Amino acid sequence: MWVPEGDTVWRSCQRLNEVLAGRELTRSEFRVPTLATTDLTGVTVRAVVSRGKHQLFRFANDFTLHTHFRMEGAWRIYPRGRKWTGGPDFQIRAVLATADHDAVGYRLPVTELLPTADEASVVGHLGPDLLGPDWDLDEALRRISLQPDRTVGEALLDQRNLAGIGTFYRAELLFLQGLHPRTPVAAVPNLRRVVQRGQQLLYANRWRPEQSTTGDLRPNRRAYVFERPGQPCRRCGTLIRTEEFGTPGQERRSYWCPRCQPSPSTGSANRALPVR
Ligand SMILES: [Zn+2]
Residues with Cβ within 8 Å of 141's Cβ and at least 6 positions away in sequence, in order, are: 191, 192, 195
Q: Are 55 and 47 in contact (CB under 8 A)?
A: no
Residues with Cβ within 8 Å of 276's Cβ and at least 6 positions away in sequence, in order, are: 243
Q: Where are the beta strands (DSSP E) in the chain?
A: 27-30, 45-51, 54-59, 63-68, 74-79, 92-97, 101-106, 110-115, 241-245, 252-256
**Residue 272, pLDDT score:** 41
Residue 244 bears catalytic tag: no
Catalytic residue, candidates 4, 128, 181, 264: 4
Helix or strand holding residue 201 (H, E): helix 191-205
Ligand 1 centre to CA of 53 (Å) is 30
Ligand 1 centre to CA of 189 (Å) is 19
Ligand 1 centre to CA of 41 (Å) is 55
pTM recorded for the entire structure: 0.85
Residues in a beta bridge with 72: none
Ligand 1 centre to CA of 224 (Å) is 9
Residue 252 bears catalytic tag: yes
**Residue 2, pLDDT score:** 58
Residue 4 bears catalytic tag: yes
Catalytic residue, candidates 23, 252, 253, 262: 252
**Residue 3, pLDDT score:** 65
Q: Which residues of the chain have pLDDT under 70?
A: 1-3, 266-276
**Residue 259, pLDDT score:** 97
